[in-house]
Amino acid sequence: MSKPKVHFYHPIDETGATYEELRSAGAEVSLPEGARNVDGQRFDSADMLFDKETVIGVGIGASTMGTRITGVSFDSSPDLRMIANYTVGYDNVDVDEATRRGILVVHSPTENNWGGVAEGTMAMMLALLKKVRERDRHVKSGGWREASMLGTFVGSRRIDNYPGLAIGLVGFGRIAMRFADLLAPWRARVMACDPYAEDAVFVRHNVRPVDLETLLMESDVVSLHCNLTDETAGMIGAAQLALMKPTAILINTARGPIVDADALYEALSKDRLAAAALDVLPDEPPSPNMPLLGLGDKILISPHMVAGNAGSGLELAVPAVNEAIMAVLRGEIPRFVVNPEAIPAWKARFGGKRLI
C-alpha cells in the first residue's frame, strides 16, 4: 500500500518539524520546489492541480494571494479528504463544491490572527476619526492647534446627551465580536448585520441586530468582517455606498473584492463619503496608478497585514493544521471544519478508514 500524500502547496513551517512528524507517522509529504515562507510574496492565481494520490492539501486562504482550490483541483485527486488552511480565511477554496463532494475544509482561527484584526480595525478607525496623520503632518510643517484638526468623539457623553457614534459591523463572527467588546467601554452604539449569527450572540455582546440597509443608513462607521463568498463579492457597491451618511467612514479588514473599488473612489472623490480605511484590496499589491491611492487623507491603506504583529504570524497555526492532518489520516473529524454539511458524506467515504 502506498503512503498517503499530504501536499503543502503553500508551506509555512520553516523548521520542517511538522513535515518530519508526518513522515514518521507514515505519510508522504509533498512540498513545492524551492518552497519557503509565504510572507511578503505574491502568487499568481491559478487552479491547483494535485497528484492523484494526494489525500490532503494544505496552504493559505486568501484568493488574492495564492492558489485557488476548485472543482478542477478536486478532479485531479479523487481521494482528496481535506483542504486545510493556516489562515482564518478560506476564500481560495470553492467550499460549496467541496461540500458536494464530501471534502472537508478546515481553517485556523488562532486568536492572534482574528484578535489582531479586531485591534487593527480599532487602530484604523481611530486614525481616521482622531486625524492622527493630519495632526502629525500639521505640526511637522509648522502648524499648531486649529479647528481643522478637531477629531470625532466616539463614545457617549452623559453631561450633554451626546449619544456616541453608531458603529455598524457587517458580519458578526470572532473578529467582529472582539471589536464590539473593545468598543464596549466607549459606550458607542454598536449594531451588526449577519443573517447567519444566532440571536443570543448579539445579546451577549450588547449589539443590536439589523439588516444591511438599516446598518448602512444609520452608521457613522461601517466595518466589514464577513468572509468572501459568492454572496458577499461586490456586496458594497455604488447603491450601498449611496445609502451611507456623507460624514461616515468605511473600514474593510475582510477581503478586497467585497467592496467595489471604483464605486468607493467615486463616493470619496465626490464627498459622498468622508473617508475609508482598507487593509485589503481587489488586487494585491495594487497598481501604483490605482485611483484610490491618490485620495490623500480620505483613504488609509494598509498592506493586508492588519493581523501582523510581532510574535504572531501564520506559524502559530502550524500545530492546529498538523493536528487536523493527523486526525483526517486516522479517519477522524478534525476541529474547525467550515463546511459541517460535508461531514455525513465524508464519514460515508472516509470515516474510520485509517491511512496511517
What is the spatial distance between Cα 220 and Cα 274, in angstroms, rounded to a whole number?
Answer: 10
Angle at 118 between CA 266 and CA 252, to 5 degrees: 15
* Residue written as grid cell 453631561: 159
Amino acid at 331: G
- Cell numbers found for residue 20: 518530519
What is the spatial distance between Cα 186 and Cα 202, in angstroms, rounded to a whole number?
Answer: 18
What is the spatial distance between Cα 102 and Cα 323, in angstroms, rounded to a whole number?
Answer: 20
Beta bridge partners, 6, equal 29, 56
CA 319 to chain CA centroid, Å, is 20
Q: Which residues are catalytic?
A: 255, 284, 304
- Cell numbers found for residue 3: 503512503
CA 270 to chain CA centroid, Å, is 29
- Let me know how long the chain is: 356
What is the spatial distance between Cα 80 and Cα 75, in angstroms, rounded to a whole number?
Answer: 9
What is the spatial distance between Cα 7 and Cα 29, in angstroms, rounded to a whole number?
Answer: 6
Sheet harboring 104-106: ordered strands across? 28-30, 5-8, 54-59, 82-85, 104-106
- Find out whether 335 and 319 touch, Cβ atoms under 8 Å: no
| Residue 319 preceded by cis peptide, ω within 30 | no
Residues with Cβ < 8 Å from 97, sequence gap 6 or more? 70, 71, 74
